[in-house]
Amino acid sequence: MNRQEIDTLVKQMNVDTATAAVDQRVQTIVVRLLGDLFQAIEDLDIQPSEVWKGLEYFTDAGQANELGLLAAGLGLEHYLDLHADEADAKAGISGGTPRTIEGPLYVAGAPESVGFARMDDGSESDKIDTLIIEGTVTDTDGNVIEGAKVEVWHANSLGNYSFFDKSQSDFNLRRTILADAEGKYVALTTMPVGYGCPPEGTTQFVLNKLGRHGNRPSHVHYFVSAPGFRKLTTQFNIEGDQYLWDDFAFATRDGLVATAIDVSDQAEIQGRGLDKPFKHITFNIELVKDATTAPSTEVDRRRASA
Ligand SMILES: [Fe+2]
């Protein structure tokens, strides 16, 4: 079949058969995607067994709750960032901290505090470096944004996230910090370790077929929001990690690489109320003012909450 025949067939089956109210947007997308799929079957001579293997794959990936991970791993989530950047540029919006992928491991409802939070529950403090993350939330002109909501989450020393890893305490390494009167937020936590896809999981299964690894560099996730500003979804990836620029999820971007500086000065250690050397990362955040003409940065997706 040629494309015209395909489009006619898809329309006959999924448009002309409507007998009740139609969601126009869904209809448009379904018709387009089916046409593109049928065209791919024509072009690549995709066999029935291959189609069924593909459908079975999505069944398995859905049952394993790995479709979010798959979207990151195949670059769909990164593409959406690039597409959003382009939409912003077209709308004349520039500046601010770059966006990057959310990933599938956010959990709503983390404990909230003003200015400072300790994020870890202490269970790993003797086997991994202490990390202090601090920064200031400003607008693109450098004015501080008091009360900006900084939601932070990251992995433990094994690359695992609380809630999904039931061996961790509730909300371990997840906090919401409201920027203080100077726009500052400080997080006392432990050094995160890079994440690897579950080796026997459905995402790694397809990555293996593509000859790809499923590793991420050490990183820390953020949602930053404030009234009158566009919500920012981002993360920093930590300099020195072997996967920094070889991230299977393509989240590392210019402007989002953080350097962890070793601090061993006794006065500084004591000044922080600590008893051992620590690592320090500065991550300042710039939010862009919202405008009615700006594309929305809110992404509606199913997220865990606890
Ligand atoms: Fe992550």
How remote is the CA of residue 189 from the centroid of ligand 1, in Å? 15
pLDDT tens digits along 119-133: 999 999 999 999 999
Rounded CA separation 99/90 (Å): 16
Q: Please give the CATH number for the structural domain made up of 71-305.
A: 2.60.130.10
The pLDDT confidence band at residue 306, using thresholds 50, 70 and 90, is: confident
Q: What is the identity of the amino acid at 133? A: I
Confidence of residue 17 (pLDDT cuts 50, 70, 90): very high
The alpha carbon of 116 and the centre of ligand 1 are apart by a number of angstroms equal to 22
- pLDDT at residue 292, as a whole number: 87
Q: Which 3 state secondary structure label does DSSP give 177?
A: strand
Rounded distance from Cα 160 to ligand 1 centre (Å): 9
Question: How many angstroms is it from 161 CA to the middle of ligand 1?
Answer: 8
pLDDT, one tens digit per residue, over 28-83 is 999 999 999 999 999 999 999 999 999 999 999 999 999 999 999 999 999 999 99
Ligand 1 mean position to 27 CA, how many Å?
34
- Average of per-residue pLDDT across 138-155: 98
- CA–centroid distance, residue 173 to ligand 1 (Å): 11
Q: What angle do CA 167, 124, 303 make, to 5 degrees?
A: 45
The pLDDT score that the predictor gives to residue 201 is 98
Whole-number pLDDT of residue 293: 87
Distance CA 157, CA 129 (A): 9
Residue 270, pLDDT score: 97
Q: Enter the pTM of the model.
A: 0.96
CA–CA separation, 253 and 263 (whole Å): 26
Q: How far is the CA of 179 from the centre of ligand 1 (A)?
A: 23
For the chain, what are the domain ranges?
A: 1-46, 71-305
Q: Which residues have CB less than 5 Å away from ligand 1 (the ion)?
A: 103
Our separate counts of H helices and E strands in the chain read 7, 14
Residue type at 34 in one-letter notation: L
Instruction: Please check whether residue 113 is in contact with residue 174, taking contact to mean a CB–CB distance below 8 angstroms.
Output: no
pLDDT at 161 over 90: yes
How far is Cα 184 from Cα 134, in angstroms, rounded to an integer? Answer: 7
Reported as a pLDDT band with limits 50, 70 and 90, residue 206 is very high
One DSSP character per residue, 136-173 reads: EEEETTS-B-TT-EEEEEE--TTS--BTTBTTSPTTTT
